[in-house]
Chain A
Amino acid sequence: MTDLALGGGSLAFIGLYLLSLLGLGVWGKKKRVNNSLGDYYLAGRNLGLPVMLLTLFATQYSGNALFGFTGQAYRAGFSWIVIVHSMIVVVTGYLIFAPKLQRLAKRHHFVTPTDYIKFRFRLPRLQHLISICLLLVLMNYTLAQLKVIGHVVEGLSGGRIDALWGVITLALIMVVYSTLGGLRSVVWTDVLQGTMMLIGFILILVIIGAETGGFVETLKELKAVAPEKTLPPTGPQAVTWLSTIVLIGIGASVYPQAIQRIYAAKSASVLQQSMVGMSLMPLFAVVVVLTLGYLAIVRYPGLQGSAADQVMALILRDTLAFGWQGVAIVTVMLAAILAALMSTADSALLSFSSIFAKDIYGSLIDPSSPEERLTRIGQRCAWLVLAAMVFISTREDVTLYRLFVLKFELLLQVAPAFYLGVTNRHIAGKAVYWGLIVGLVVAVMGWLLGVMPLGLHPGTLGLAVNVLVIATWHMIRGINAPSGS
């Protein structure tokens, strides 16, 4: 990341913020009622409205939102506005299955997303395959956040702190507060982090105001510097537009960590009201981030590939020139960026440990384990996985957007199990299983080959084939008697 060496006051502010996260970890531990999986991984299923809204926000808007979205806005221009539609459609997707899923989760004590699959389809091989897909997605997610954390810390310290040590320190803080208080600590850190992010988004507007002669002037300059970036998508690009909405809209609605927050809602009305906030959020949060990317096209022309992911850092560097106000803005923004990264990584890590403990260890390795033991296994798993991800994060070189897309390619194939499972009582597990396998093959092959037939993402194509297999299976084998609910 671009050198953003800050003074002692700024570093002390960020240090205090990080210490407060540890404090929330200790608080979460004190509030734990018992060592059950429901209490540790779902905060006792008692999340109220403000907490629910902010934790969904902090979880859904990750480091990708601040670095990846800005970078992609820089690369693609106005056509990347499709991310606004996509993030709204995530909430549309939730409405299709989440309210009923929340009710079922309360009644049947689900802890992991796979618990629903087990309850609904009663097909162990489907349940295990979905668990593996979700674990891979969560590893990808954690890895992407750690990679950016390394860049941020290195830039923040002006290169005095190595990226690896930055990642190790922040990963340790995350794993300590997650281990201490489970989801209870994580959601309260999300509240703090979500608030910081909202302040950060408002500060972005301040930066835009301070650095430009106004939005209209910036647009005029943008058209002069890069007129091709103001043009609408044409031909296959328009297909890609729709494919992006499907990919992100449906894919992000089945984030395992988001599904667990749905389980953890205090009531159906809390969940519904949170959805209202989440459906309107992209119109503010995403639009301001994209505007920053468009400003960067004018300010820093010529950045190629993954270099465009650094535009946020470049803008922050220049903001430092605005005296103490600039330093204050950059300090809060950097804390917000760390917040965005950590809130997503900690949620993914907690979700990973719950799926491993309950769906892999508790189902395949030692089914007789009591819940207290599974909770401990999950905690140890979080430490091991994080250590492995820290190691890998220093060795990979993939742009943020590519990691972002790979995650959705897999998630999209899992989506029919939830969408169709909840809304259609006749869908059979075997059909979903074979649909998932074929969808995964198409999506992963397409991703490996780097092809987008007809402008469709491999994941979207995989989803189409996946649903086609499910429909064909039912046409050949007939409709089953209703199962699950």
Chain B
Amino acid sequence: MSTLKIAHENKCIGCELCVMGCQRQLARAGLAGSYIRILRDIKEGDKFKVSLDPKVAELKLKKLVEICPRGVFEGQEANEA
């Protein structure tokens, strides 16, 4: 089973490259319907929450792990186990 884990949420800088990468794998651009969402804390502008939809496991996780410049994610695809 493929899994993507938020390993270091505190490192997220809100660049949304993971959101773009997720949407690209679904052949679209935009924010709606992304299996990864980045939620900003407007009270503390340097804090972010990362939200994962379980459907993210359907995607190529290695690409999502690699596109994050901060190493927020850890993941394993079924065929890599």
**A and B form one complex:** no
